[in-house]
A = this chain, B = another copy of it.
Amino acid sequence: METYTIKDIARELGISTSTVSRALRGSYEINAETKRRVMECAERLNYRPNPIALSLKGSASRAIGVILPQIANYFFSQAINGIEAIAYNRGYHVIIFQSQESYEREMANVQQAMSRKVDGLLISLSSETADVEHLQEVLDKNVPLVLFDRVSSELNVTKVVADNFGGAFAATEHLLKEGRRRVAHLTIQPWLSITQERLAGYRAALEQYGVEFDENLIRYGTFGPDEVGPMIDELMHLDTPPDAFFTASDRLAVGCLQALGQRNLHIPEDVSLIGFTNLNVAHLLNPALSTVVQPAQEIGQVAAERLIDQIERKHRALPIETVRIPTELIVRSSTRQEAVKL
């Protein structure tokens, strides 16, 4: 498995490297016989063009950069899975960068990705990122960029997200239809796009069902496993405590389940619980845990497709749009289970 270059082929065939190069890329004006000989030789030597040299030349590197907050997160690792599947099929490599939820590091990641001459960039913003100047510069350099999951409204690019509004609406509606009227919403950092969309869906459902919005029922945070308990306590000590919980992440759903369990609150007798979730075992924790399943893998796939489409058709402008991937509502009780595509 030696590694041969265009030069080796040229020497072997006693022709010039330029001829080989042209033959390999099937240039018109090349003798069919020469072409055949070059091809044969390349085949025989198992010649593979050196991607590094290609990148240096300024042409495609056939690599896409993926910048995301955390790999060790079920949502993102599934998303990567989707990305990698598409990239592989279309002949691209994936170079992964973790921002670790740090704005500083995200900027460094962008720089590194650019200097590695990625053909395009797929980004899910860190929770610290407010300013998107660094991404605007990517666009200014004409490097295709697609945002996924955590996006910014300040960037005029293609975005691929879950239908957070729809999912949250459906979740809240489900609870309201069950007769719940005090739905607490436990969610993550308030400035993230996904948080705002979910909150909007939640509010829209309340409004539609004539239930007043109560700020006290909303809790934001980056909850560690031991922080959910106290928050539940707080909520349950409100004058009119919640009769249902709608959580915005796996961790919150699991933390909530635990906290409720420890307080001997049963689901759904005492309170209802529905979570935005990816963790496919979460519902096993409690057969009555309904969930809005986020299409993590599909988001990755679609984002990668859009990005590569852009990379490969740089000449013609592709429409810039926000793609919302439907979520799925899975309603469970101890006795039945029902999945609804939204």
Contact = CB atoms under 8 A, between A and B. Distances in A.
Contacts of A117: 52
A37 interface: no
Given A3-B115, A56-B53, A94-B96, A77 B72 contact: yes
A95 B98 contact: no
A254 interface: yes
Contacts of A97: 93
B111 A48 contact: yes
Contact of A285 (B72, B116, B284): B284
A53 B93 CA distance: 19
A317 interface: no
Contact of A1 (B52, B95, B134): B134
Contacts of A112: 51, 93
A6 B257 CA distance: 58
A216 interface: no
Which of A53, A93, A111, A112 is most buried by chain B, counting CB atoms within 10 A of its CB?
A: A93
A279 interface: yes
B115 A52 contact: yes
A116 B93 contact: yes
A258 B297 CA distance: 25
Given A52-B115, A93-B95, A285-B284, A81 B74 contact: no
Interface in A86-120: 88, 93-98, 111-112, 114-117
Closest 4 CB pairs of A and B: A72-B81, A77-B77, A52-B55, A1-B137
Given A71-B81, A93-B116, A95-B95, 11 more contacts: A1-B111, A51-B115, A52-B117, A56-B56, A71-B77, A81-B98, A84-B98, A95-B96, A254-B281, A258-B284, A281-B281
27 contacts: A1-B137, A3-B115, A48-B111, A48-B115, A51-B112, A52-B56, A52-B61, A53-B56, A63-B116, A71-B71, A71-B81, A71-B84, A72-B77, A72-B78, A72-B297, A74-B77, A81-B98, A84-B96, A93-B95, A93-B112, A93-B116, A95-B95, A96-B96, A257-B284, A279-B281, A281-B281, A285-B285
